[in-house]
Amino acid sequence: MKITWITLALLPALVLNAADPLPADIENKAFDPAKPPVIDEAVPSTHYSASEWKIASGMKAPACGKGAVWKVAPASSIQGIATKEKTVQVKGKFSRFVAFASQKAMTLKGSGALDLSSWDSGLAPRDYRVQKYVFGVEEPGKTVLPFQFEFKTWNPKATDWESPLLLSFKLHGQQFSHIFPAKLHAEGNQVKITTAESKRFTFLTSGQQTAFAKLMELCNHHFLSSYADIALDLTLDQVCVK
* Angle 65-71-75 from CA coordinates, rounded to 5°: 165
239 burial via Cβ count (<10 Å: 0-12, 13-18, 19+): middle
Find the length of the chain.
242
* Rounded Cα distance, 189 and 174, in Å: 36
What are the residues facing 237 on neighbouring strands?
71, 190
pTM of the predicted model over 0.95: no
Each residue's pLDDT tens digit in the chain (242 positions)? 333 333 333 333 433 334 457 899 999 988 999 999 988 999 999 999 999 999 999 998 888 876 789 999 988 999 999 999 999 999 999 989 999 999 988 999 999 999 999 999 999 999 999 999 999 999 999 999 999 999 999 998 899 999 999 999 999 989 999 999 999 999 989 999 999 999 999 999 988 989 999 999 999 999 999 999 999 999 999 997 54
* Distances in whole angstroms, Cα of residue 17 to Cα of each of 20, 59, 155, 170, 227: 5, 41, 48, 22, 18
Domains of the chain: 27-239 (2.40.128.110)
* Rounded Cα distance, 173 and 142, in Å: 11
Q: Which of 26, 24, 18, 84 is nearest to 213 (CA)?
A: 26
